[in-house]
Amino acid sequence: MPRYFLEIAYKGTHYSGFQIQDNANSIQEEMEKALRTFFRQQLTLTGSSRTDGGVHALQNFFHFDYEGIIEQRALYNLNAILPPDIVLKAIHPVAPDAHCRYDALSREYRYYLYRQKDPFIADRAYYFPYTLDHDQLHAAAALVMEYHDFTAFSKRSTQVKTFLCDISESAWTEEPQGLVYRVKANRFLRGMVRGLVGTMLQVGRGKLSVAQFAEVLRQKDNRLVDFSAPGHGLFLHQVYYPVSMFETAR
């Protein structure tokens, strides 16, 4: 049966997360509802990367199977059905065995901080007006790339089989409105990026040394990790696939 990838972006402020949940509104629920309205049948979606409540995405993916040709007008019609804080960016025909989760090569997240009070970005970045030692932040971010086992940076209520992640990028950068933490890996654990950000901010404030941060990484004990960085500062920036994935015509 033909398979399609849905490329979406969303503002996660009013959602409990990406994946469908009981008694809570999710991105998946809204997407499946729009598909059901347009195609007049129930279509089950498989997601690429789960995001927590309040977390945003500039790019994320679902895939689904549909026996039929999806015309270009479907993009306009589905966006008309979807709520204003979710946008369907593209519908990609892919090979019947393509999988939006398992075929992803890597994911990139960005976490945004701003230093001066600004009501126009308050729901899309973390207001953090404290003094930070940027050299210590950079040193902590570089240290992340030396490790593979991120047991300490995973929330406890998870069912993953492994806590190993291959980090290919980890860095703080300065932008006009504040600081941005950029991290790219083949996979992420539940709460991992927020845990890294919160704990590195303790390093930047001088409450932890870089050596102590390294010890947190080694200890594999999430009680040592600061998960307090709020979800609204976090964006799933991009999901990377092989170039040939979207060149495969149905």
Strand 167-175 to 56-65 pairing: unpaired
Task: Please report, for residues 6, 65, 88, 149, 183, the alpha-carbon distance to residue 70 in angstroms, rounded to integers and kept in the order given.
Answer: 12, 11, 14, 42, 35
Instruction: Please tell me which residue in 52, 85, 135, 221 is annotated as part of the active site.
Output: 52
Beta bridge partners of 24: 21
Instruction: Compute the distance between CA of residue 247 and CA of residue 94 in angstroms, rounded to an integer.
Output: 8
Instruction: Compute the distance between CA of residue 195 and CA of residue 201 in angstroms, rounded to an integer.
Output: 10
Q: Judge whether 52 counts as a catalytic residue.
A: yes
Do 37 and 54 touch, CB atoms closer than 8 A?
Answer: no
**Exposure string for 165-194, b = 16+ CB within 10 A, e = fewer:** bebeebebeeeeebbbbebbbebbbbbbbb
Beta bridge partners of 10: 57, 86
Rounded to the nearest 5°, which phi and psi values hold at 33? -65, -45
Do 154 and 190 touch, CB atoms closer than 8 A?
Answer: yes
Instruction: Compute the distance between CA of residue 184 and CA of residue 165 in angstroms, rounded to an integer.
Output: 10
Amino acid at 43: L
Helix (H) or strand (E) holding 105: none
Q: Active-site residue numbers?
A: 52
